[in-house]
Amino acid sequence: MVVDTYQQNNHKKFIHLIPSRECILSFLKTYKDLINQKKIENKFNINHQKDKKALRRRLRAMERDKQIVYTYNHCYIALENLKIVIGKVIGHRDGYGFLRSETLQEDLWLSIQQMKLCIHGDIVLAHIVRYEKKGKNLAKILKILKPNNVLIVGRYYIENNMKYVTPDDNRFNFKIFIFSSTITKNLAIGSIVVVKLNRNVLNKNNKIQGTIVEVLGSSYKMHTALITNIAIRTHDIPYLWPKEVENQLHTINNKIDKKEFKNRIDLRHLPFFTIDEKDSCDFDDAVFCKKKTSKEGWDLLVAISDVSHYVKPGTPLDQEALKRGNSIYFPKLVIPMLPEKISINLCSLNPYVERLCLICEMSLSNTGELTQYKHYEAIICSHGRFTYDEIFKIWNHDIQLCLKYNRLLKHIKNLLSLQKIFKKYNISKKGIYFENTEIKFNLDANFKIKNIYRHIRNDAHKFIESCMILANIASSKLIKKYQYPILFRNHDRPSQDSIENLRIVLSELGLFLPGGKNPKSIDYSDFLTKIKSRPDYEMIQTVLLRSMKQAVYSPDNHGHFGLSLSSYVHFTSPIRRYPDLLLHRAIKCVLFKPNEYMKDLKKENNLFNLNRIKKIGMHCSMTERRADEATRDVMDWLKCDFMKKKIGNTFTGVVSSVVSFGFFVRLNKYFIDGLVRIENLNDNYYFDSIGLKFIGKSTKNIFRLGDLVQVKVISVNFIQKKIELSLCSN
């Protein structure tokens, strides 16, 4: 122990025993966790107030000299004990949370106490601590690097003269107290509002404060438009066009400049068709094919609207398109990536209108193999806007449609001939092809579900899908030649844990997935072919899908496991996906100025700077997930609204998912999932997390995936968007 002397203002000397830096450091190294000053004082028996101040000065000096680290929650840790990780906070409705980091395979646990230091969505710097008692890694917050400043949607209440908002998103596990807001003057209790958090303001009870910035409606008068508005704001989706975008739109001519005709290949004479769903509003792809005259094989031309001609890099249009990442399709409402002047006018391949396009022209063998390809700018004129059902009916000799489109019949039959080849020889012979039946909802005048039906993908759907996959493959081959840092569509193989868990689930169903520890795409494909006749085929497909990783965008090419391709890009939808727009720009660089591009490649502000592309890939992967979550929120509410009229009714269903608190049953009649809670069963049930099943302790009854059960609808929870079921007999 070293003796330190401190001089007071009256020059009277006091002698205090303060631990040396070496003693403090030695203690912190053995502690290996965050520790506050109080515990250090207790360790070294420091009780006098002046001693405590001296210790604080010493600790600050050690921090300044990088011997220790001082965290924002007033704790210290030895630098060599610090295991730093940066991640995103994921809140849980029960108050605890997780820290998700790209550098870690598993999420870290955040205790309820740690969650009081942050909120869901914060990007934080944390220290990893091993919790031996439970055999898991914990995270302790060191610093908030990027606070989540998202606006929060919730319901307004008053209790004991205190105004507060409870967030709809239960990952925000706290009340937001409203202490000043002009909006609350005549605000009805139960109103759905949007709140901006005051993160830097805490009252004496550490209550989170906020300001109401918008009133959306009443929670007692819910409707589809209101639910959509809630989803848009909950997921922080940009939905208003900035003034700069509107100003730029005024400068864009509504007609094609005739100069473009000289610089492009004129394909207006070729009968390109657009083939889409009946309710599609933007048409960014058209196809044309013909049998080769000189040799065996086919010529397939995929025309994609030339969005990059109108949306230049760095412009307000481009910046807003990147911010949005992709278009989002809600029931009867679209939040487009690009304004309507671009998305449903200038860049939509409407029939009998001249449009600028980027063409991917491909030569195919008689077995549908891609043998040659080339890309070029062109101008086309679509000769027809068809739906999938119309093309399919014409292929099946619908007399009325055949007469209506008699002049185009030859070209439509060419599409059929090529589809027969695609059907016989899959483009990616080793790829995994899921035959999921799509569920469609008919909405009434109030945009609520009127009825539900199966939408079966026909051969016309599969033909267009094959054409688009081929165009994406050809574009990937082109871009790889020039080694452009562009966004690949990566789909990594499933993890070892996922494969092992999948095998356990399949074994419960008496099934076996071939391929050993590292099954290939063809193993999955062969497996699906063998079980196609099973009644639980769709449920098994869902299990397989859940075991796979999510596809993401990245300049680092990892291949596409699902399609069994070494590389894959998105080329075919630049109106609604930003990565496709980036790819179009790269292809134009290849076509017109490759040398200039290579010269400027390493410049920081270059369009294809690798670091910039990597950030864009992460952002676009996020906006894709954001779109899925937002549309799922709306559809789940619509399902609840539909099923509230069915409370008390009984249905037959299949166990579609098993979780620790119960199991979900998919109703055969409506294809909607409802939850049977384990506490509502007439026995104490043990949850087998490996085999994903429940086993009754007394009755020995078992509930597992694929079981056929009779259930009754007992309630609907609109806030959690869950349908509650009970077993009719158990």
C-alpha gyration radius of the chain = 31
pLDDT in tens, 105-163: 788 999 888 898 889 999 998 888 876 555 678 888 888 889 898 899 999 999 888 89
Q: Which of 24, 49, 79 is the last residue of a domain?
A: 79
Q: For residue 646, what is the DSSP state?
A: G
Beta partners for 451? 442
Domain range for 121 is: 83-146
Whether 623 and 520 share a structural domain: no
pLDDT in tens, 402-456: 999 999 999 999 999 999 999 888 766 678 877 766 778 888 888 888 888 888 8
pLDDT band at 640 (very low <50, low <70, confident <90, very high): very high
Instruction: Report DSSP letters for 254-313, one per residue.
Output: SS--THHHHHSEE-TTS--EEEE-TT-----EEEEEEE-SSSSSEEEEEEEE-HHHHS-T
pTM (two decimals): 0.86
- The distance from CA 468 to its chain's CA centroid, rounded to whole angstroms, is 22
User: Which residues in 587-697 belong to E strands, given as ranges?
Assistant: 650-659, 662-667, 673-677, 685-688, 693-696
pLDDT in tens, 218-247: 988 889 999 999 999 999 999 999 999 999
The backbone torsions φ and ψ at residue 456, rounded to the nearest 5 degrees and listed phi first, read: -90, 125
Two tokens at 222? 């819910």
Give alpha helix (H) positions in 92-235.
Answer: 112-115, 224-234
Whether 448 and 527 share a structural domain: no
Q: Is pLDDT of 354 > 70?
A: yes
pLDDT of residue 206: 65
pLDDT of residue 192: 94
233's CB contacts (< 8 A; 6+ apart) are 151, 153, 194, 214, 216
Distance (Å, rounded) from C-alpha 362 to C-alpha 373? 4
For residue 553, is it within any domain? no
We report the CATH number of the domain holding residue 123 as 2.40.50.140
For residue 671, give the nearest of 653, 646, 647 by alpha carbon.
653
CB 242 within 8 A of CB 317: no
CA end-to-end distance (rounded Å), the chain: 71
For residue 542, is it within any domain? yes
pLDDT of residue 532: 86
CB 172 within 8 A of CB 211: no
CB 458 within 8 A of CB 388: yes
Distance (Å, rounded) from C-alpha 22 to C-alpha 527? 64
Whether 138 and 156 share a structural domain: no
Whether 16 and 125 share a structural domain: no
For residue 248, is it within any domain? yes
User: What's the number of domains the chain is made of?
Assistant: 6
Q: Is pLDDT of 376 > 90?
A: yes
Longest CA–CA span in the chain (Å) reads 111
The backbone torsions φ and ψ at residue 76, rounded to the nearest 5 degrees and listed phi first, read: -125, 155
Q: Is pLDDT of 457 > 90?
A: no
Distance (Å, rounded) from C-alpha 217 to C-alpha 231? 13
Q: Is pLDDT of 16 > 80?
A: no
Two tokens at 470? 């081929």
Two tokens at 688? 């087998």
Q: Is pLDDT of 55 > 50?
A: yes
655's CB contacts (< 8 A; 6+ apart) are 663, 664, 665, 703, 704, 705, 706, 707, 709
pLDDT in tens, 295-328: 789 999 999 999 999 999 989 999 999 999 999 9
CB 164 within 8 A of CB 157: yes
pLDDT band at 13 (very low <50, low <70, confident <90, very high): very low
Residue 553: C-alpha distances to residues 36, 136, 307, 566, 617 (Å): 43, 31, 20, 15, 5
Q: Which of 28, 51, 79 is the last residue of a domain?
A: 79
Q: Is pLDDT of 12 > 50?
A: no
Distance (Å, rounded) from C-alpha 638 to C-alpha 440? 12
The average pLDDT across 198-219 equals 79
Whether 31 and 175 share a structural domain: no
Whether 378 and 520 share a structural domain: no
Which one has a higher pLDDT value, 482 or 381?
A: 381
Whether 381 and 288 share a structural domain: yes
Whether 445 and 396 share a structural domain: yes
pLDDT of residue 8: 41
Whether 585 and 689 share a structural domain: no
Distance (Å, rounded) from C-alpha 91 to C-alpha 111? 10
Q: Name residue, tokens 């409370």.
A: 647
pLDDT band at 1 (very low <50, low <70, confident <90, very high): very low
Two tokens at 607? 């369009």
Q: Are strands 722-727 and 673-677 parallel, antiparallel or unpaired?
A: parallel
For residue 638, is it within any domain? no
Q: Out of 199-208, 243-252, 563-572, which region has the weakest mean confidence (pLDDT)?
A: 199-208
Q: Are strands 84-91 and 552-554 parallel, antiparallel or unpaired?
A: unpaired
Whether 347 and 453 share a structural domain: yes
For residue 642, is it within any domain? no
For residue 140, give the nearest of 24, 23, 36 by alpha carbon.
36
Task: Note the residue count of the chain.
Answer: 730
226's CB contacts (< 8 A; 6+ apart) are 192, 216, 217
Mean pLDDT for the chain overall: 87
Q: Name residue, tokens 């109108």.
A: 310
pLDDT of residue 459: 93
Q: Is pLDDT of 10 > 90?
A: no
CB 583 within 8 A of CB 555: no
pLDDT in tens, 338-348: 999 999 999 99
Distance (Å, rounded) from C-alpha 308 to C-alpha 346? 12
Phi-psi region of 703 (alpha: psi -120 to 50; beta: other; left: phi over 0): beta
Two tokens at 3? 């003796």
The backbone torsions φ and ψ at residue 451, rounded to the nearest 5 degrees and listed phi first, read: -155, 165
Coil, strand or helix at 597: helix
Two tokens at 10? 């009256």
Instruction: Report DSSP letters for 384-451, one per residue.
Output: EEEEHHHHHHHHTT-HHHHHHTGGGHHHHHHHHHHHHHHHHS-SSTTS----PPEEEEEE-TTS-EEE
For residue 232, is it within any domain? no
Q: Is pLDDT of 520 > 50?
A: yes
For residue 539, is it within any domain? yes
Two tokens at 716? 């609907």
Which one has a higher pLDDT value, 491 or 63?
A: 491
pLDDT band at 71 (very low <50, low <70, confident <90, very high): confident
pLDDT of residue 134: 57
pLDDT of residue 32: 67
Two tokens at 614? 């990597």
The average pLDDT across 346-353 equals 94
pLDDT band at 48 (very low <50, low <70, confident <90, very high): confident
Distance (Å, rounded) from C-alpha 305 to C-alpha 348? 7
Distance (Å, rounded) from C-alpha 398 to C-alpha 400? 6
pLDDT in tens, 572-620: 999 999 999 999 999 998 888 665 544 544 444 556 678 889 999 999 9
Distance (Å, rounded) from C-alpha 261 to C-alpha 189? 62
Q: Which of 186, 221, 256 is the last residue of a domain?
A: 221
Whether 73 and 97 share a structural domain: no
Q: Out of 71-80, 107-116, 392-401, 540-549, which region has the weakest mean confidence (pLDDT)?
A: 71-80
Whether 304 and 334 share a structural domain: yes
For residue 234, is it within any domain? no
We report the CATH number of the domain holding residue 66 as 1.10.10
